Amino acid sequence: MERPPADPAKLLSAWTEWETGETPPGRVMSNLKTGGMRDVLDHVGTTADVAPEGVQPAEALDAWMGWETGQTAPGPVMTALHAAGVRALLEHLTAAAASAEG
């Protein structure tokens, strides 16, 4: 069974739930995983000029992999993703997807 493509708007929504304190880090990480965050980070890390200035895709992917491999708890991973500029990345990708649709 093939996974659906990542939806940046849904990923951004999950991210915002963490920022507002509405959802704990572990649940947000689970939602991000289900939503395809790793695919996004893999793509951005290997594609030139996809990430906006200030986003550090390699650092974000390293933090993500720390969680996926069970080496890092969700809270520190979310903090590292924040420091790597993931919110700006998701906002950028959401805007790009919206402009491509209409």
37 close to 11: Cβ distance less than 8 angstroms: yes
Per-residue model confidence (pLDDT) at position 49: 67
Mean pLDDT by 10 residues, the chain (102 residues): 85 97 97 95 79 89 96 97 96 90 74
Cα 77 to Cα 83: distance, rounded to the nearest angstrom: 10
Q: Which domain holds residue 88?
A: 57-102
39 domain residue, yes or no: no
Domains identified in the chain, total number: 1
Per-residue model confidence (pLDDT) at position 76: 97
Cα 4 to Cα 26: distance, rounded to the nearest angstrom: 22
Per-residue model confidence (pLDDT) at position 48: 61
34 domain residue, yes or no: no
End-to-end CA distance of the chain: 29
Per-residue model confidence (pLDDT) at position 46: 77
Which residues, including other chains, have CB under 8 Å from residue 15's CB and lie 6 or more apart?
A: 28, 32, 86, 87, 90
Per-residue model confidence (pLDDT) at position 51: 79
- pTM for this structure? 0.91
